[in-house]
Structures are given as structure tokens and as C-alpha cells.
Amino acid sequence: MKKFFYAVFIIFAIISACSSENDKTLYDSAVKSIDEEKYELGITNFEKIISEFPESKYRPIVLFELGKMYQARLNKKTNEVDSYKNSKKYFSMLYKEFPKNKNAGSSIFMVAFIQANLLNQLDSAKVNYQKFISEFPNHSMVESAKAEISNLGVPPEEIINK
């Protein structure tokens, strides 16, 4: 009887291993889809990595890529505001979960940029720009963040006329 249960267990394990996706498979598939400009499929596979593999080594890369893809509105099934909200969400996740990641500074900057320029969340944008400047004082975008703060709420025409 033990042999029977052992055999069933082995067969179940083999079937499960063969049929289930892993984070590397999903990542490779997403990258291939994006290379082929099948953005929605790429986004879907990246989002599966985020939801199904929270400890994946690909997580910081995927969070940053999802932030960029939603900010660029590459998922045509998502409306404009939701796309920007998703972008902000993924950039925020990267910054919070991986504060030492090479893209953490760019991510908090992008959160502030999206809040200021795309979602009209000026108070939150100012807080995040200030956080960015404080935490990443040597980042190449610090001067841009300072300019953004000084121009929050100013119409583009007025900025150009300055």
C-alpha cells in the first residue's frame, strides 16, 4: 500500500511540475511578447509574476517595466486614468519593496511626475518630489524634480513664457 501511495505521489508531482508555469517561463514569455509588440500579453504575464511569485528574482524588473508600460498606455484595454493609476502603483511598489534597487529613485520620481502631470494630485506630487530629492540627492533627475515643484499647478503656457 505504501508503494501505491508513493507512486501516486510521484506521478502527481511530475504532472504538476510539467503543467505549471514558473516565474522564469512567464518572464521569458512576457519579454518575447513585448519584443513582438504583443503588449497586453506581456503585461498579463508580468502581472502573473507579481501575483503568483511574490519572491521572484524578477519582481523588481517586472515592477519597473509594468510601471513604464502602463505610463506609456501600452495596454489598450485599460482606460487612460486607470493606466496612470496602475503605473503609479507599480512604481510605488518597486520603491517601497526595493528601496536600494537601481530603479528606486527613478520610480519615486515617476510616482510624483504621474501625480503632478497626469492625475492632478499636486499635494501628493510635492511630497513625493521632496522625498525623491531628500533620498536621492545625487540622482540625475534632482534638478527636474526641483523644477517640477516650483511649477506645480502652473499651466504649460506660463512655464514656456518664463
The pLDDT assigned to 154 comes to 86
The pLDDT assigned to 16 comes to 41
The pLDDT assigned to 14 comes to 46
Interval 144-160 mean pLDDT: 89
Kindly report which listed range (45-54, 94-103, 153-162) carries the lowest average pLDDT score. 153-162
Given pLDDT bands bounded at 50, 70 and 90, which one contains residue 112? very high
Q: Read off the pLDDT of residues 44-87 as tens digits, 9 standing for 90 and up.
A: 999 999 999 999 999 999 999 999 999 999 999 999 999 999 99
Q: Read off the pLDDT of residues 3-42 as tens digits, 9 standing for 90 and up.
A: 544 544 455 444 444 435 799 999 999 999 999 999 999 9
d(CA 82, CA 155): 23
- What would be the CATH architecture of the domain defined by 22-161? Alpha Horseshoe (1.25)
Q: How many CB atoms lie within 10 A of CB 70?
A: 23
